[in-house]
Chain A
Amino acid sequence: MNFIEFLGNILSKELEISTYAARGLIKLSIKDEFGPFFPLDKITYKLIRKVIKNSLFFRMKRLEVFRFEEIRNYLLDELVKNQSLITFESI
């Protein structure tokens, strides 16, 4: 969960919304991608990358977020830089 919170903080700054709303947006995107029963503590690097590339991207697009492509790319960069956090919090 730390990683989703971490990513939520980045997204909240980019979208200028609360961290709660940003985390919510990420969780909704995970739900879109893997269904409502997907356990958040089972997220892996590949899965979260898929979420950012697909469902989060389309959610931002649907919400008419300004610079949604740029934000997606920024999130992907941050994911690459901070990927070890997923392992270090899950073991």
Chain B
Amino acid sequence: MELGILSMLFIILTLYLIYIVLQMVVGIYLFIRMRKTKLNNILPLSLFFIISSIQGIMSLFNLPVIIFQASLFIPSILLLIFTKLTFFRDQKTPFIFFLVIMLILKIITFLVSLFIIPLSTPMTAKFSKDYVLYYYLYLLIICINLSIPELWLGYSALNYYKQVKLLNIEPWIKKRYLIISYSAIILFIEAIAYLFLPWSSEGFRHPQALVVIFIVTTVTVVFSIGSIIGWMMPKKLKIHFNKGFTPIRDEILDEAELLKKIKSELSKGG
């Protein structure tokens, strides 16, 4: 193998290891926070990170393609569930529509991989050109299945940020919306990049595949860093974002005094 390809592979592997570690760290942190806060909607997000990390570890070993295929879209579905449970409970949303689309596409790729051609990114198995259509269909399905949850989360967080940016809410919370939305939207680049993987059995030795995988890995590392900063925001950063913000300090009254105040204000106003 050429030295250039080898050094590129080394960079990709390093980035990939960083991604695996960061995803696992965020996942475990969110799991602990979920237990503490009893916010069950965090569970799918926590599992999204943990399973993505485990998949990353799995892909480092030469496991049968079918095992990888079976678990491939689980994180995407978990991200979709998180968005629904966090932003849209008791609201009409395209959630079921998205879920059905993703599951159908998942079943198609699984069946194609099982019975027609063992699909992988990048392709490593040798097959005749008759199967090229399956391959590009597979890449399109990956792109769609990654894009739906990423863009839905990114859009929802950004949309809510726009609604609350002028309200009297601690600025670090607003920044969290912004960071989470941008990191999810950035991940869309990953989905698009998959479309450019070449039909070639050379795998990582193909220069175009190498560039695409480099882009995918870099984007996922950026997403992981965004997730670390967004979800595990250090106290110092929160203080920095909150500069100039005065939190509300309520005077302590007992229940009787408070009720008296409420009644007196109600008689004047409401």
Contacts and interface: CB of A to CB of B under 8 A. Distances in A.
Given A66-B270, A87-B42, A17 B265 contact: yes
Contact of A89 (B88, B170, B251): B170
Contact of A80 (B86, B90, B180, B270): B90
The bracket for how many chain A residues form the interface is: 35 or more
B49 to A, nearest CB: 13
B106 interface: no
A14 B266 CA distance: 11
Contacts of A63: 262-263, 266
B266 A65 contact: yes
Contacts of B259: 28
Interface stretch (B33-41, B60-68, B122-130, B143-151): B33-41
Given A17-B266, A44-B38, A84-B160, A6 B250 contact: no
A84 B87 CA distance: 5
A91 B231 contact: yes
B262 A91 contact: no
A89 B90 CA distance: 20
Given A15-B265, A84-B86, A91-B42, 12 more contacts: A15-B266, A16-B269, A16-B270, A28-B259, A45-B41, A82-B160, A83-B88, A84-B177, A87-B41, A91-B30, A91-B37, A91-B231
Contacts of B90: 80
A82 B164 CA distance: 9
Contacts of B176: 88
8 contacts: A2-B173, A63-B262, A80-B90, A84-B87, A85-B160, A90-B39, A91-B33, A91-B42
A20 interface: yes
Contacts of B164: 82, 85
Which of the listed residues B160, B258, B261, B270 has the most CB atoms from chain A within 10 Å of its own CB? B270
Q: What are the 5 tightest A-B residue pairs by CB atom distance, in nearest-first order?
A: A16-B269, A17-B265, A15-B270, A24-B258, A16-B270
A6 to B, nearest CB: 7
A21 B169 contact: no
A54 interface: no
A2 B39 contact: no
Interface in A1-22: 2, 5-6, 9, 14-21
B263 A83 contact: no
A15 B265 CA distance: 9
B91 A80 contact: yes
A52 interface: no
B3 interface: no
A5 B41 contact: no
B200 to A, nearest CB: 43
Interface in B247-270: 248, 250-251, 253, 255, 258-259, 261-263, 265-266, 269-270
Contacts of B235: none
A2 B169 contact: yes
Contacts of B253: 24
A54 to B, nearest CB: 17
Contacts of B88: 83
A6 B167 contact: yes
Given A87-B86, A88-B177, A6 B169 contact: yes
A25 B168 contact: no
A21 B267 CA distance: 13
